[in-house]
Each structure stands twice: as structure tokens, then as C-alpha cells.
Amino acid sequence: MEQVLQNLIIALRASGVRISVSESMDAMYAARLVGYENRQTLKDSLSATLAKSHREKEIFEASFNRFFSLDGFSDPETDSYRAPALEPNEEDAPLTQMLLSGDNTGLSMSMREAAQRADISGIRFFTQKNLYIQRTLQGMGLEGLDRDIRRLSKEDGASSRQKGSALKEARDLLFENVRNFVEQQFSLFAGSATREIIEKYLRNIRLSNLEQQDYHQMRAIIQRMVKRLNDLHSRRRKTSKRGWLDLKKTLRENVAYQGILFDPRWKAKKIDRPDIVALCDVSRSVEAVARFMLLFLYSLNEALARIRSFIFCSNLVEVSHVFEEYQVEEALVRLQRGFGLGIKFGGTDYGQVFQDFKKTWLDLLSNKTTVLILGDARNNYGNPQTDILGLIRERSRRLIWLNPEPPAFWGTGDSEMRRYLPSCYFVKECSTVNHLERVVDLLLRTQA
């Protein structure tokens, strides 16, 4: 049973439950204390040791029920297999005897043991289903069953032909039961691998190519990214409060204690939350990237950084209050459609945007401010106002430009990116969420 519990823990981890080694040991100990006779008692005990949140409790409930669910052989309510009511012979293979005698308990145990020997808990991809079906069938003794069917088909007599025909039907039903069992195990053990493949794909896909049905999953990915960044930079700030031992200062401060180091002093670099002024292009040409940039800013505004947020198309408007007043879905709709914000959706005019910023918000900038611009720099052949962008760069600590187009497109057509480059601290292509994460990670490393 210890191996069974280990497989259950593997299945729970694959479903998203975080389980440490010590928690696994606690679960083993709890199972030994309560025993395996009462299903509900065992379930409650394991839930208390393995599931730590309401969401994990729900996952545990579903995974436990699926893991210990009845298969086609052991479920009395299913008609998936009926014995052919024929007497087995001593020369028949063990699997043949179980099928002919209707030994469903033996068939169920044989299937589970064969699957365990085939390491069914290692299944990760849907392409492996047929492999594990064949391994399980071979482990149950399919070769002996096939040999009996071939032998009976060659023998004369109606009874032999009837027995062979019954075994062929039983073999087909056996295959169906094993296939259903393997698919059940796949749903238990392969969840994390499937999610990892999908997440890796979504993290690297160009946001302009993203399908509508993937938006919800992308939001969850971004939330996990923000949480990871929050954990990382929170630890960094905690470490900075300790720093490294300053031996000279420590010795001077502890002379009064005759050299006993009661009051250690530390060297540390203070790492502060960055001040960010973010300008986000919401025109149609960068609509998909802008959506997720705004979502990233929304999450960061809640957790990590001090952000003043602006959106622009033909003019520039501040939208910091939208992040505070509305839930994320409604906030994104309002920002992209400009509900009640006074934004003009015409041709993109970077020159006018920079003029608006200089006129109204230039005083926001200081030597601690990072200016973050997301846009493709396509100005519809208007005045780019590069001198104002240079002034913004001088008044701020650094100016970072994220362009959703690849570098080969910068400066082509109506793109003014090449003319804006000298005023930027750096310019990065930003067309995937991985690009966004790397830039935000860099921003959060700002040292005061």
C-alpha cells in the first residue's frame, strides 16, 4: 500500500497540489495510524496532511475519487464484461482461465499489477497511451491468450470453435477495459506535463497570434509570473536588511563590551520598489500586446511597484485610477476601448503624445523614475518630437522602450524607432509574455 500512496501523491502533484517530502512522510504515518478499512477516514486523514488550501482540497477530493475509482472489472454496475460461461482447461493460460471463469477480481488485480510493473505513474503524454496499453496487456499475459485462440482455431469440433470465438470477444472487451484504465491513469498523472507544454507554448507565442480562447489561461500564467517575481524580490529586500558583516564598524561599536560582539553592524545595498511611469499604445496595430502589458501593469500595481499608468493613441491620458477602481476584466475593457477616459482613437501620433506628457506630467519625473513605453513607434509620418523624448530621458533615471515588432522592422515605413533609439536607455523587442517577464524582472532590480 505504500507504493499506492506514493502513486497517489504523484497524481496530486501532477494535478497542481504542492506536496513536500515531509508532508509525504506525514501522509504515510497517518495512513498507518488510521488503516485502510474505512475509505472516508483514510480520505480525511490524507486530506488533512496533503491539502493546505481550499483549492487544493477540491483538487484532492477529485483526484482521490478518480485514483480509487472502480475499473470495468471491479465495478458491479457495469456490463463491460461478462464471462462466456465456458469451462477453462488446465492447459489454458492464466489470463484465458480468468476470462472463461469470469474472475473479475483476478482480472482487476492482474491489470493493476501489470500497470504498476509498467510504471503507469510515469505516463506524461497522450502519445504514450498505446504504449502503456500494450505493456499492461503483455503484463497480464496477452501472449498466452493469443496462443490459446490460435490453438483453438486450428482444432476440430464445435466446442473448440465456440470457445475460440468467445475468447476473441473476451479479448476485445479486455482491450477496452485496459484502454479505459490507461486513459484514467493518464488523466491522473499527465496533468502537469500537459499544462507545462501548453504554458511553454503560450509563453513563447507572439501575442498578436494568440487565440481568444487562450486569453483566460494567459491571464493565469501572468498571475503566476507576478507571484514568482513578488516572491523573488521580496526575498531580495529581506536579504538587503541583513547584508554582509561590516567587521571594522562592528569592532568599533562593541569596544564598550570589551570585544564581545553584542551589536553586529552590516553592509547592505538598499533595493527599493521602483517608481515607474508607463505609457502604453492601445492602437489597433499593437492591440494584442497592449492587452497583456496592461494586465501585467495591473498585477504589478497591486503587488510590486509604484506605477503611474498612461494609455495613448492620438493623445495621451492617465489611467492610474482605473487600476484602483475596477476589477481586472472590466479595467482592461475600459482601457482598451477608452470608456470615459477622453482618449482619441485616430491615427497614432507619438509626437502629440510626447507634447501632452511634457505639458501636463513632466514634473512626475525624477532621478528615481523609470519611464516605460510600449509601442511600435509608427507615427503615421507625423513630427516624432525626438527632442521631447530626449528631455524625458534627461529628467528620468532611464527610459525603456518595448517594441512588439522585431528589430528588422524598426525604421521601415512610418516607424520612427531608429530616431528614438538615441534617447532610450535600451530598446527591447516585446512580443511574448516571456519578453514581458524579463523586462519586469529587470525593472524590479532597481537599486536606490
Nearest to 286 by CA among 371, 351, 205, 378: 378
Of 152, 174, 191, the residue that ends a domain is 191
Domain hosting 406: range is 220-244+273-443
- Per-residue model confidence as pLDDT tens digits over 247-298: 888 888 888 887 777 788 877 655 556 688 989 998 887 877 777 777 777 7
User: Is-contact 340 346, C-beta < 8 A?
Assistant: no
Ramachandran class of 155: left when φ > 0, alpha when ψ lies in -120 to 50, beta otherwise: beta
Residues 374 and 296 in one domain: yes
Any domain includes 123:
yes
- Per-residue model confidence as pLDDT tens digits over 35-45: 878 888 888 88
Number of domains in the chain: 3
Residues 227 and 334 in one domain: yes
Residues 430 and 293 in one domain: yes
Residues 324 and 421 in one domain: yes
Residues 306 and 419 in one domain: yes
State how far the Cα of 103 lies from the Cα of 82, in Å rounded to an integer: 10
Any domain includes 155:
yes
Identify the pLDDT of residue 381: 92
Residues 297 and 390 in one domain: yes
Any domain includes 203:
no
Ramachandran class of 214: left when φ > 0, alpha when ψ lies in -120 to 50, beta otherwise: alpha
326's grid cell: 475596477
Residues 317 and 412 in one domain: yes
Any domain includes 133:
yes
State how far the Cα of 70 lies from the Cα of 146, in Å rounded to an integer: 27
The gap from C-alpha 169 to its chain's centroid, in whole angstroms, comes to: 44
Largest CA distance in the chain: 109
Any domain includes 340:
yes
DSSP calls for 74-91: T-TT--S---------TT
Amino acid making up residue 136 = T
CATH of the domain at 317: 3.40.50.410
Residues 304 and 429 in one domain: yes
Residues 323 and 179 in one domain: no
327: how many CB neighbours lie within 10 A of its CB?
8
pTM: predicted TM-score of the whole model, two decimal places: 0.58
What string of pLDDT tens digits covers the 448 residues of the chain? 677 788 788 878 777 788 888 888 888 888 888 887 888 888 888 888 888 888 788 888 888 887 777 666 755 555 445 555 567 777 888 898 888 888 888 888 899 889 889 988 888 788 888 999 999 999 999 999 999 888 888 887 788 888 888 888 889 889 988 998 888 888 777 766 666 666 677 777 777 666 666 666 777 777 777 777 666 666 555 544 566 778 888 888 888 887 777 788 877 655 556 688 989 998 887 877 777 777 777 776 655 567 888 999 999 999 888 878 888 778 878 887 888 888 988 889 999 999 999 999 999 999 888 898 989 999 999 999 999 999 999 999 889 999 989 899 999 999 999 999 999 998 988 888 788 778 777 776 654 4
Residues 33 and 164 in one domain: no
Residues 155 and 303 in one domain: no
Any domain includes 24:
yes
DSSP for residue 338: T
Helices marked H in 118-214 — which ranges? 129-140, 142-154, 158-189, 191-204
Any domain includes 78:
no
Residues 287 and 143 in one domain: no
Any domain includes 82:
no
